Structure 1
Amino acid sequence: MGRPESFTTIGLLILLSSQLSTTFVSSAVDCSTVAQLFSACSYFISDSSVDPFPGSPCCDAMTGLNVIANSGDNRGALCRCIMGLIATYNPNGTAIATLPGFCGVSLGFTIDPNVDCNF
């Protein structure tokens, strides 16, 4: 039997592939999809002091965000969705901001509450 992380990763990839096909067609980012991808990182977001590295399923989700950010005109919309998550998960917004960097992913913008997402 496979490891639980493998099942999580496979599930995320299936979710991501189905969501990406919709994203490419409509060229709009659905913030619920972004929230679902960040949910793979919920343990890290809720208490990054316990486990200072986000782990493979979370980093797979960050890679998915990178694919979304680099498709069409999605970067600004993705930025706005992430800023909404930071506001929602305050005071853990800092953990959200650090996730792409921990996973070696650049979304093409700085995750900061003061960033202008109109690009």
Structure 2
Amino acid sequence: MMKYNHVVVCISIIIMALVVITPQARATVSCGTVASSLAPCLNYLEGGATGTVPLGCCTGIKSLNNAAQSTPDRQTVCQCLKTAAKAMPGVNVGLASTVPSKCGVHIPYKLDPSTDCSSVH
């Protein structure tokens, strides 16, 4: 039994090392993450947007921006945003594109339904 525990520990250490060393090629941000991060923005974007952007919305945008540091993550976020914009016709897309800058966040691509997400880097 003691020998088995040593093998398990050694394999675990090797797997952890590979995870740390191996570059990530797949996105780690999901559309669920995008939706939950941006949920606090919906009332603002659907309700005529009077006043300032809600704090929860800015917090979600900053969190999502921090999570999407790789090209695959940014492409996934872009595609999720495009899909969400099509599914929610009540959202003012023009207003949505201004929210990141109002929250002090730079997005490296244009938030627009016509954006080619495969070109996002």
Give ranges in structure 1 of 5+ residues lacking alignment.
Answer: 1-23
* Alpha-carbon shift at residue 116 of structure 1 (Å): 0.3
CA deviation vs aligned residue, 1:6-26 (integer Å, no higher than 9, x gap): xxxxxxxxxxxxxxxxxx8x6
1:39 aligned partner: 39
What is the aligned length? 94
Percentage of pairs with the same residue: 26
Q: Which portions of structure 1, spanning 4 or more consecutive aligned residues, are displaced by more than 6 angstroms?
A: none
Across the aligned residues of Structure 1 and Structure 2, the Cα RMSD in angstroms comes to 2.0
2:107 is paired with a residue of what secondary structure?
Answer: coil
Q: Which has the larger radius of gyration?
A: 2
TM-score (norm 1): 0.68
Give ranges in structure 2 of 5+ residues lacking alignment.
Answer: 1-23
Q: Superposed, which structure 2 residues align to 1:13-92 within 5 Å? A: 27-49=27-49, 51-71=50-70, 73-92=72-91
Q: What CA distance in whole angstroms lies between the structure 2 residues aligned with 1:43 and 1:112? A: 19
What is the letter of the counterpart of residue 61 of structure 1? G
TM-score (norm 2): 0.67
CA deviation vs aligned residue, 1:34-65 (integer Å, no higher than 9, x gap): 0111111122022134x232121110111012
